[in-house]
Amino acid sequence: MKILVFLALLGLHSAAAVTHSLKYFYTASSQVPNFPEFVVVGMVDDGQMIHYDSNTMKAVAKRDWMNTFSADNPQYLAGQTDIFVGSQQWFKGNIEIAKQRFNQTGGVHVFQWMYGCEWDDVTQDASGFMQYGYDGEDFIVFDLKTLTWIAPKQQAVVTKQKWDESKAQSARYKNYITQECVDWLKKYLDYGRSSLMRTERPSTHSLLQKTPSSPVSCFATGFYPNRAEMYWRKDGHQIHEDVERGEILPNHDGSFQMSVELDVSKVAPEDWGKYECVFQLSGVKDDITIKLDVIRSKGGFPLVVIGVVVGVILLLLVVGIAGYFLWKNKKGKEGFKPASTSDSGSDNSLPLNQKA
């Protein structure tokens, strides 16, 4: 089983310039070394804004504008903490139920929940999602149109049948996804607009190679927003063969990183100068390019720079961004579930009273 660091479902959107999002990721795990048993991460426009884990037992604001929001809403973080503590017990029980369903005992297992909404500030269109994952794959997904659950796995059919009977709970989810979530997103945007609407070019843009036979990775980090493209081209034309594009990942400071690899095993040394890596950031006119032969001037494979990449990945784990283990079966905009919205300042919660 692979535990994936954030990723994937938070990719590019067609209406990138005007689409905003509020998303939450709950991750319960068993027997994962040196990692909290329960982690919650909240994100606005794919940047982490709140964090909770079972080690600290406390919701913490992760952005300066969220500190301002919390100061103006004194009960907010305490309310979020109460919700996450309650969710922690619910998830602990359900991971055990899932293990029984899959006839499992020990070993590493991960039970996840993702939910949220997206809102276009020009068209005013809104959409939302909710889904659960287990051990890297979809477990059960909420269908907003029919207000029923979809069970991709046979082991989730019992859960589907049980949850479909709770019409009131399904209606609650719909109301949160289509109305409350968007209302809270707008509040967050009002506080974080100066930060969320900024544009920053990459602070580092490098070509990396572990060994002479390894693919060359074009790596960029420190850019914002996450609406970016990176690709390889030869003689001025974009190429797709022997190219592997990585996902856009978050950094601890709210910026992003990404990479794209090129297999150079078939490229003759004298042709390296024909290849270049291109980075494009939405809202920025000028592209950033690096020619492939630049790497040769550093001895072919600058291991010191590779160490920077490793350090970035480790830093992601340390600061808790690894809290969103996303399953590989990407469903785009499907996934959501809050825990109990109230006037005391809890935006991301619905009663967690449904057992799998």
Q: What is the CATH number of the domain that holds 179?
A: 3.30.500.10
Token pair in block for residue 311: 């350090």
The answer to whether residue 50 is domain-embedded is yes
The answer to whether residue 153 is domain-embedded is yes
The answer to whether residue 347 is domain-embedded is no
Per the structure, how many domains does the chain have? Answer: 2
Gap between the Cα atoms of 313 and 10, Å rounded: 17
pLDDT tens-digit series, residues 271-324: 888 999 999 998 788 899 998 876 643 443 333 233 333 333 333 333 333 444
The answer to whether residue 160 is domain-embedded is yes
What is the reported pTM? 0.71
Same domain, 155 and 217: no
Same domain, 120 and 221: no
Same domain, 118 and 59: yes
The answer to whether residue 342 is domain-embedded is no
Same domain, 68 and 89: yes
pLDDT tens-digit series, residues 21-75: 999 999 998 888 888 999 999 999 888 899 999 999 999 999 999 999 999 999 9
The answer to whether residue 340 is domain-embedded is no
Amino acid identity for residue 90 in this structure:
W
Q: What CATH number should be reported for the domain holding residue 243?
A: 2.60.40.10
**Is the distance from CB of 16 to CB of 282 less than 8 angstroms?**
yes
Query: Which of 197, 224, 243 finishes a domain?
Result: 197
**Is the distance from CB of 180 to CB of 345 less than 8 angstroms?**
no
pLDDT tens-digit series, residues 122-154: 788 889 999 999 988 889 999 999 999 999 989
Structural domain of 162: 8-197
When pLDDT is averaged across residues 4-10 and rounded to a whole number, the result is 33
Same domain, 168 and 279: no
Cis peptide before 33 (omega within 30 of 0): no
Same domain, 175 and 218: no
